[in-house]
Amino acid sequence: MVPAAMGVSAPFCHGVLPFPAAARGSSARSRGGRLGLAEGCCTGPVAAAVTDAAPVTGAARLGRRRCELFDLHRQIVPYVDSWGWQKSIVERRKALVGIDTDTDEDHSDTLIALQHPPVYTLGNGNDEKFLNFNIEDSPIEIHRIDRAGQVTYHGPGQLVLYPIINLRYQTKDLVWYQRSLEELIIRALQSAFSIKASRIEGLTGVWVGEQKVAAIGIMCARWIVYHGLALNVTTDLTPFQHIVPCGIKSRGVGSIKQILQKASSGRELNDAELMDIAYESLIKEFAEFFQLSLEPSPDLHL
């Protein structure tokens, strides 16, 4: 049977659980230095780990809206656990939202960074023809969730960011927000890895050539948006072969590691370093794009 994820709304085309003790204080910073890969489909050698990518604190960016950062980017977190955290945060913050910013008591945004164990998620409108297996005999964990769109995959090596943002302090436009997430991914790939990524008209996500490297999915409640983006960093792409990702048959799926190895004639790369660099670059671009002050937090306060 396909378990449902507790009324989840997560269009990725893709009791509250505390963060695990092993994850607390696990924030990893990039190590510096260059990977020094040769030019190829990238626009130049891979950039050094971003040295100024530490979270932007309130003291450093006076006047910016506060955003709590829960850094689990090296942790493997079950899908239903992350949904429980998001749901609790959204429900708590919905009660603080006013009619406008003058009466709004929702004074802080949230960003959660993590990885998931192997899992397929299916939207409400999922057509089982996009599954290359019997849904009752899935090769990995599978969840039918309350969102639009088709099937997608999450797994280790895929960096997932779940921003929970009050768009009253940004722009009250969901299309604008989706395009904004795409833009910050494009900027992060360029600045950290010199990879030239782009959008494809009519499709959601970020692409390098014909390969999709990042999926984006959002939901909204009282202009508080949640869910977010999934970037294939060192992801094993094999599970994507068992599905038609997002129902798009004409294009493939890629990863940062795959792209860089192709550009360097198969040079070995350090997975942990690639994940750290991708994480640092993404949160730096996220903070700059949305003008937020990222404040690391060891645990949720619910």
Q: Which CATH number describes the domain made up of 72-98+115-296?
A: 3.30.930.10
CB 10 within 8 A of CB 120: no
Q: Tell me whether residue 301 is exposed, middle or buried, using C-beta atoms within 10 angstroms of its C-beta: 0 to 12, 13 to 18, 19 or more.
A: exposed
Structure tokens at 251: 């294009």
Pairing outcome for strands 108-115 and 141-144 = unpaired
**Global pTM?**
0.79
pLDDT tens per residue, range 227-266: 889 999 999 999 887 665 565 666 789 999 999 999 987 7
Q: Can you give the residue ranges of every domain in the chain?
A: 72-98+115-296
Residues 6+ apart with CB under 8 A from 99: none
Rg of the chain over Cα atoms, rounded to whole angstroms, equals 18
Return the pLDDT at 83: 87
Q: Cα angle at 296 between 295 and 301, to 5 degrees?
A: 95
Nearest to 120 by CA among 153, 91, 98, 71: 153
Structure tokens at 140: 């990995």
Checking if the pLDDT of 113 tops 70, the result is yes
Q: Which of 13, 42, 67, 246 is catalytic?
A: 246
Q: Tell me whether residue 64 is exposed, middle or buried, using C-beta atoms within 10 angstroms of its C-beta: 0 to 12, 13 to 18, 19 or more.
A: middle
Is 41 an annotated catalytic residue? no
pLDDT tens per residue, range 30-62: 333 334 333 333 333 333 333 344 444 444 455
Nearest to 228 by CA among 66, 3, 11: 11
Structure tokens at 146: 């309350």
Checking if the pLDDT of 65 tops 90, the result is yes
* Stronger pLDDT, 148 or 109, i.e. the higher one: 109
